[in-house]
């Protein structure tokens, strides 16, 4: 909102025309508000929750010592994020509102899940089937809306949004042999493949199903990762930083043409939103670092994962999420493999067997005797490597 009121082509307020400046301002604003209001939020949640988040008995001493710690720390993140976006983002941009809507609905689902767990003092919250059903419905609607934006606002499209019609003419004159797919339908209903230039795997209407899987899978993968102090938020900050760069490059024609990646007009503004997430995430880490004063809870993890998934769809870099969010993928796979193998061996032999000592993967290493801080820091290191691998695909094509 501050951006809309103060932006100008003259004087110091000309800085607001630059996405990079507003992204940095969003990081600082979100961080400061999260830090200032974090402690009061924690105190209020501790008073309201009494016994705090129920801790499942995993036969891990480190886990049992966390009893009484309040959950729903996602509220700290959302406060900083919404303030950062409200101050510095272009609120007329439809991508911003689409991402915020998905994020808010997923966060609300997480809140209901956390509330049910705290109220009942059990680790069983909202029905998983009901939660997944709502997640898929919301994701499907959001992906369908983004397909419409992609179809209308590609350079070869005819919609007049943000001067894109004139931009298309300039592009045609500037770069007749453009790298950008000239078929709007292929762009909006196709999947860009890593390492391949100027090609979209045509899915048509099935792209909605594909996008739903990306969004819901991302949300629940982050949710699985949130199990140790600081474990989920730092990889999320790293992934957000990587996608902020991708959004900025994808939303700028010259950079997109140079790198040979798909140009998605308007998506550059998502860098500001991701900047706010980075700042808010750092503010939350201030209180979530070991030993944590508060847990993120599903209130935070589902919303953050849903946000990352829908942004990957918006900037047409869905497969890059597998690498950039590699740690989340490993955590989710460990759960899927553990449960599937246990059920299979129990059906075949009558006795269920496990691949890991415990799933998700971070608990496996705890069972191997690793202290919590070692697990967390080493997983942070892996997150940096995964993000760098994902960003490398921007040029390796």
Q: 136 in a domain, yes or no?
A: yes
Buried b (16+ CB within 10 A) or exposed e, 225-250: bbbbbbbbbbbbbbbbbbbbbbbbbb
Question: Do 187 and 263 meet the contact criterion of CB atoms below 8 Å apart?
Answer: no
- Residue 360 preceded by cis peptide, ω within 30: yes
Please tell me whether residue 202 adopts helix, strand or coil conformation. strand
Alpha-carbon gap, residue 286 to 263, rounded angstroms: 36
Q: 248 in a domain, yes or no?
A: yes
- Please give the pLDDT value at position 59: 58
Alpha-carbon gap, residue 159 to 48, rounded angstroms: 50
Write out the residue range of the structural domain in which residue 113 sits.
2-321
Please tell me whether residue 197 adopts helix, strand or coil conformation. coil
Q: 366 in a domain, yes or no?
A: no
| Structure tokens, 281 | 């995430």
Burial class (CB in 10 A: 0-12, 13-18, 19+), 31: buried
Question: Do 101 and 142 meet the contact criterion of CB atoms below 8 Å apart?
Answer: yes
Burial class (CB in 10 A: 0-12, 13-18, 19+), 255: middle
- Please give the pLDDT value at position 168: 40
pLDDT in tens, 162-200: 334 344 434 334 333 333 343 455 567 788 887 777 677
Please tell me whether residue 139 adopts helix, strand or coil conformation. helix
Please identify which residue in the block is written with the tokens 């005797």: 369
- Please give the pLDDT value at position 361: 94
What radius of gyration, in Å, describes the C-alpha atoms of the chain? 22
Please identify which residue in the block is written with the tokens 């024609």: 253
298: nearest Cα among 79, 128, 136, 129 = 128
Q: 357 in a domain, yes or no?
A: no
Which residue positions in the chain have pLDDT lower than 70? 1-11, 13, 51-65, 121-125, 152-187, 198, 397
Q: 304 in a domain, yes or no?
A: yes
Buried b (16+ CB within 10 A) or exposed e, 2-15: ebeeeeeeeeeeee
Question: Do 308 and 242 meet the contact criterion of CB atoms below 8 Å apart?
Answer: no
Question: Do 152 and 159 meet the contact criterion of CB atoms below 8 Å apart?
Answer: yes
pTM of the model: 0.88
- Please give the pLDDT value at position 62: 63
User: Any idea how long the chain is?
Assistant: 397
Alpha-carbon gap, residue 260 to 393, rounded angstroms: 11
310: nearest Cα among 99, 96, 77 = 99
232: nearest Cα among 247, 213, 242, 219 = 219
Q: 52 in a domain, yes or no?
A: yes
Question: H or E element: which one contains 352?
Answer: none
Q: 349 in a domain, yes or no?
A: no
- Residue 315 preceded by cis peptide, ω within 30: no
Q: 348 in a domain, yes or no?
A: no
The domain total for the chain is: 1
Please identify which residue in the block is written with the tokens 């001493």: 61
Alpha-carbon gap, residue 79 to 284, rounded angstroms: 10
Task: Give the count of beta carbons closer than 10 Å to the beta carbon of residue 369.
Answer: 7
- Please give the pLDDT value at position 158: 35
């Amino acid at each position: 909102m501050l951006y809309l009121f103060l932006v100008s082509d003259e004087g110091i307020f000309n800085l607001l025309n630059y996405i990079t400046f507003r992204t940095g301002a969003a990081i600082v604003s979100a961080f400061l508000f999260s830090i200032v209001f974090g402690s009061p939020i924690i105190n209020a949640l501790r008073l309201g929750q009494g016994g705090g988040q129920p801790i499942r008995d995993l036969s891990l001493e480190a886990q049992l010592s966390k009893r009484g710690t309040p959950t729903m720390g996602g509220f700290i993140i959302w406060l900083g994020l919404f303030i950062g976006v409200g101050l510095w983002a272009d609120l007329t941009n439809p991508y911003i509102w689409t991402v915020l809507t998905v994020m808010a609905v997923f966060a609300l689902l997480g809140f209901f899940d956390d509330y049910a767990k705290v109220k009942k003092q059990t680790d069983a919250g909202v029905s998983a089937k009901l939660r997944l059903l709502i997640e898929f419905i919301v994701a499907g609607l959001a992906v369908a809306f983004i397909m419409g934006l992609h179809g209308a606002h590609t350079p070869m499209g005819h919609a007049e949004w943000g001067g894109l019609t004139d931009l298309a003419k300039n592009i045609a004159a500037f770069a007749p042999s453009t790298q950008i797919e000239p078929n709007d339908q292929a762009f909006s209903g196709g999947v860009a493949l890593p390492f391949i230039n100027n090609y979209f795997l045509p899915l048509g209407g099935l792209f909605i199903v594909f996008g739903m899987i990306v969004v819901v899978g991302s949300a629940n993968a982050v949710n699985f990762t949130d199990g140790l102090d600081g474990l989920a938020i730092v990889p999320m900050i790293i992934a957000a930083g990587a996608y902020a760069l991708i959004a900025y490059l994808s939303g700028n024609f010259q950079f997109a043409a140079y790198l040979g990646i798909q140009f998605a007009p308007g998506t550059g503004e998502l860098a500001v939103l991701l900047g706010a997430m980075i700042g808010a995430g750092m503010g939350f880490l201030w209180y979530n670092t070991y030993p944590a004063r508060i847990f993120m809870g599903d209130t935070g993890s589902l919303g953050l994962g849903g946000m990352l998934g829908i942004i990957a769809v918006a900037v047409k870099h869905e497969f890059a999420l597998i690498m950039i969010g590699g740690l989340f993928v490993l955590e989710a796979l460990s759960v899927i493999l553990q449960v599937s193998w246990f059920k299979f061996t129990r059906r075949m032999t009558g006795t269920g067997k496990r691949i890991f000592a415990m799933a998700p993967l971070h608990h496996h290493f705890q069972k191997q005797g690793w202290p919590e801080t070692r697990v967390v820091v080493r997983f942070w290191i892996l997150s940096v490597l995964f993000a760098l691998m994902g960003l490398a695909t921007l040029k390796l094509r």
